[in-house]
Structure 1
Amino acid sequence: MRHLYVVGRGACSILGADHAETVERLFSGAALARSFQESGIGLEVPALAGVISGLDRRLGGRFREEGAAFRLVDAASREALRGAHDCRRLRIYGGSNHGETDVLLALSQMEQGAAQEEPRLWEALLRDPLPERLPSSLGPETRLEAWTYSACASAMHALAFALLDAQEDGDEASLVLVVGGDALSGIGMAGFYRLGASTRGQCRPFHADRDGLLVSEGAAALLLSTTAAPGTPGPVRLLGMGMSCDAFHPTQPDPEGAVLERAMRAALEQAGVRLTDVGGLILHGTGTLANDAAEASVCARLWPAASIPVTSLKGALGHTMGASGLFNCVVAVEALQRGRLPPTRVEGASAFEGVDLVTGAPRPLRPGAPLLVSASGFGGNNVCAVFGVGR
């Protein structure tokens, strides 16, 4: 099994414009929910959302159909690449949930004559400008290998494909960028609201009073290499991944989480990590009734007699759609380097027996113990990853 070393990170979120600001506020327990109306998108959805203040949502730029999602993904990618000495052989793997979905909304709000004069926007309804334009934005020698659309597991699937391809590289060193991102979409926001999945207040993962997710926006990126950076003490490695699809329901997970459990076990097996070796879990933890109960059920079966620290980022970051799983991975890397797991942004203990929820302040991790990360998406998509420290 050939591992991938994390050599760069990037992020932009409602908590911060870059990786450092995002993780610092996350570890301190910050949360910044706003009214969706503050996004200025133009649909009146009476719900809270994770709105990045000041984000340029206009369509335009060099490629004409660039929008907020492209700008987020581009910014996180550039930050992850900062400090990389040689990106000439860079390969890109990415994922998003809806990309520039609101191209359709923009066209619908134009005068008929003006809309007819926007051929590139009409073309964007047929192809996603994110994967098409990102390689050109980052440099002429970058190459797109895969862009995935598996709802909220999208960027994690991209990470899995990068790991799979690394096994085919032989002894040749390679550098890969994995990125995921989504901006707020009026169409998507309306859909979650009509499903009754949006929170009426604070998103409270694994809490007895949880009532839904906080739809949010952002982008996360990891730069990975088949070789560790010279002189790096205790580099973080992607040790293994597992994937499954329960196909139980278009939007609801399997209540027992049996197929999610299969993905967790597969990731641990590939990583060569025993259940008792796991030092902490960063779960999908959306704050919805169904998701949290399913994940809690899996935890109770896998660790019935152990107290495994569990956290969810979505009380602070909100649900960043296609980027959410990769945000979990970025924070897993940070947690391993700090030796602490960030808190879940809720008050009080978990509603589920066997889920040792980290709240209030970061929790110290067992030295050297790996972390397990999960992500799930509509259609029953499940992806899990294991990260650890060492060469």
Structure 2
Amino acid sequence: MSDIDIAITGTGLLTSAGAGVHRAWEALESGTPGFGDGAGLPWPVAAVDPRHAPWPDGARWQNIRKYAGPGAHWGLAAARAALARAGWEDGAPAGDQAGDQAGDQAGRPDPTRGGTVVAVSSNGSDELADILPGLAVLAQHDERPIAELLYDEVPDYAYIRSIPSQLGQFVALASGFEGSNLSVYGETGAGGLGALALAVRLIGSGELDRVLVVGVSPPLPLTTAVAFDREERFGREAGPGRGPFDLDRAGTLVGQAAAALLIENTAAARARGAAPLARLAACETLCAADRASATAAVVDDVLARAGRPADLWWAHGCGSVAMDLAECEAVAPRLGAAVPATSSKGTLGNALECSALVDAVLAVEALRRGRLPAVGLLEKPDPALGAVDFVVGGPREVPGAAAALVTALGHGRDAATAGAAVIVKGS
């Protein structure tokens, strides 16, 4: 992969705070958590209101709406918001803009030079949710590659059998991108950073000029939620003192969300007249013997690639006693005590498959605003976490911050996947 300057030109969010980056930011700054009773589950959940993800207007969208599950509604809402912020509408760039060298006769960028990568758990169908536990058990000892196993074992009626997700097809329709359409499934994607790292490779290799990265974490089926809870306990309370990094934290706080980032070769973005919101200096995911080793290695990797230190840290910080400790032990020595740290999950919850994409979008906003919100529900930082400068009690001004480190861990006591990204302030 060649070194190439990559710009973030569009972002979109759908969270328990509502639709839009500004809604999530308001919730973070006000310290207003979005947790409800979990619709009968034993864990509080920061749930998305489906009314905040309306289906697009127009005949072509209405004709295919019957095929779209809740995840498709959510992901499409975030994707279209990112496209609009990047100056893209209805499958083409808005306005009279210059095209790339490979542009079509209308002067627009070549659609085959754009692609999509989505981070998802499943296609959202009830039928597939019923068979996923059996597939997970089978995959533990089956020698077939996961793609082959899914193709062989998933019934024909399930879209996942063909690997590119249902959501990816809707996102491609919204963007008009005709290049690669890829999917990254499950928590091994480190909260969506696996999808973002794959998108970086597609641009860095020269295959594409731009990639729309979309992640969705829809409501967890009960069987999946129980399995996650057994792997790494979910929090039973979401009140003051139970937030990430708190001395009295007692488990991962669960959330739902959809997030989207449009990343582009900076030269191609400027050629079409787009103003970068930020620059993606590095992004990677790694597996190691354990999550602490994976986190340390991936942070070293992205900081080395970025060629500069981070001025703020947007941590995974999910509220798990063990995961918060492992993250701090791995990351804090690599940043120093003077770097302020926050997390979104005490307010918005841990949206498993796209949590890090949510944080990447928020980190872009933090650099743009020169301000860092406090860690939600954090009252007494745990001394065992070491000398970390957590933002507590209210937002903190960080006017000189130019680079943010975003970290993500896979869920589960035996999970050994971690991701990290370095985002640099736009100019």
Structure 1 counterpart of 2:32, one-letter code: A
8 Å CA contact 1:153, 1:375 repeated in 2: yes
8 Å CA contact 1:349, 1:357 repeated in 2: no
Structure 2 counterpart of 1:302, one-letter code: R
Query: How does 1:367-386 map onto structure 2 within 5 Å?
Result: 367-378=400-411, 379-386=415-422
8 Å CA contact 2:16, 2:257 repeated in 1: yes
CA shift, 1:319, in A, is: 0.7
- Of residues 91, 95, 116, the one that matches 1:92 is 116
> Is 1:52–2:85 an aligned residue pair?
no
Q: Counting helix residues as a fraction of each chain, which structure ranks higher?
A: 2
Q: 2:135 is matched with which residue?
A: none
Q: 1:111 is matched with which residue?
A: none
Q: 1:13 is matched with which residue?
A: 15
Q: Deviations over 1:148-179 (max 9, x none)?
A: 12515152111111212222229xx8222111
Q: 2:424 is matched with which residue?
A: 388
Structure 2 counterpart of 1:207, one-letter code: D
8 Å CA contact 1:217, 1:320 repeated in 2: yes
Q: 1:347 to 1:134 in 2, by over 3 A?
A: same
- For 2:420 and 2:226, the matched residues in 1 are separated by 29
- For 2:156 and 2:253, the matched residues in 1 are separated by 29
8 Å CA contact 1:370, 1:388 repeated in 2: yes
- Of residues 155, 168, 186, the one that matches 2:192 is 155
- For 2:381 and 2:197, the matched residues in 1 are separated by 30
8 Å CA contact 1:148, 1:154 repeated in 2: no
- For 1:121 and 1:362, the matched residues in 2 are separated by 50
Q: 1:229 to 1:333 in 2, by over 3 A?
A: farther
- Of residues 300, 308, 313, the one that matches 1:281 is 313
8 Å CA contact 2:155, 2:161 repeated in 1: no
- 3-state DSSP class of the match of 1:189? helix
8 Å CA contact 1:98, 1:182 repeated in 2: no
- 3-state DSSP class of the match of 1:290? helix
Q: 1:346 is matched with which residue?
A: 377
CA shift, 1:138, in A, is: 1.6
Query: How does 1:1-391 map onto structure 2 within 5 Å?
Result: 1-37=3-39, 44-54=40-50, 62=64, 64-82=66-84, 83-84=87-88, 85=93, 88=111, 89-100=113-124, 102-104=126-128, 122-124=157-159, 126-127=161-162, 129-138=165-174, 141-151=177-187, 153-169=190-206, 174-186=209-221, 187-195=223-231, 197-202=233-238, 203-227=242-266, 228-229=269-270, 235-248=277-290, 253=291, 257-273=292-308, 277-304=309-336, 306-351=337-382, 352-365=385-398, 367-378=400-411, 379-390=415-426
8 Å CA contact 2:368, 2:426 repeated in 1: no
Q: Deviations over 1:114-147 (max 9, x none)?
A: xxxxx99842463564355324532554334421
Q: 1:329 to 1:140 in 2, by over 3 A?
A: closer
Q: 1:116 is matched with which residue?
A: none
- 3-state DSSP class of the match of 1:62? helix
Q: 1:24 to 1:121 in 2, by over 3 A?
A: farther
CA shift, 1:353, in A, is: 2.1
Structure 2 counterpart of 1:24, one-letter code: E
Identify which range, 313-322 or 60-69, moves more after superposition: 60-69
Q: 1:307 to 1:101 in 2, by over 3 A?
A: farther
Q: Deviations over 1:24-58 (max 9, x none)?
A: 22232221111121xxxxxx53221122234599x
CA shift, 1:290, in A, is: 1.2
- For 2:323 and 2:41, the matched residues in 1 are separated by 23
8 Å CA contact 2:212, 2:260 repeated in 1: yes
State the number of aligned residues. 360
8 Å CA contact 1:74, 1:137 repeated in 2: no
- For 1:99 and 1:23, the matched residues in 2 are separated by 29
- For 1:107 and 1:166, the matched residues in 2 are separated by 35
TM-score, length of structure 1 as denominator length:
0.82
Q: 1:218 to 1:9 in 2, by over 3 A?
A: same
- For 1:390 and 1:179, the matched residues in 2 are separated by 21
Q: Identical aligned pairs, as a percentage?
A: 27
Structure 2 counterpart of 1:162, one-letter code: A
Q: 1:193 to 1:27 in 2, by over 3 A?
A: same
Structure 1 counterpart of 2:319, one-letter code: G
Structure 1 counterpart of 2:320, one-letter code: T
CA shift, 1:23, in A, is: 2.1
Identify which range, 150-159 or 282-291, moves more after superposition: 150-159
8 Å CA contact 1:91, 1:143 repeated in 2: yes
Unaligned 5+ residue runs, structure 2? Answer: 54-61, 94-107, 133-153
CA shift, 1:286, in A, is: 1.1
Structure 2 counterpart of 1:92, one-letter code: T
CA shift, 1:105, in A, is: 5.3
Q: Deviations over 1:357-384 (max 9, x none)?
A: 1122122225153110011114311111
- 3-state DSSP class of the match of 2:323? helix
Structure 2 counterpart of 1:69, one-letter code: G
8 Å CA contact 2:76, 2:167 repeated in 1: no
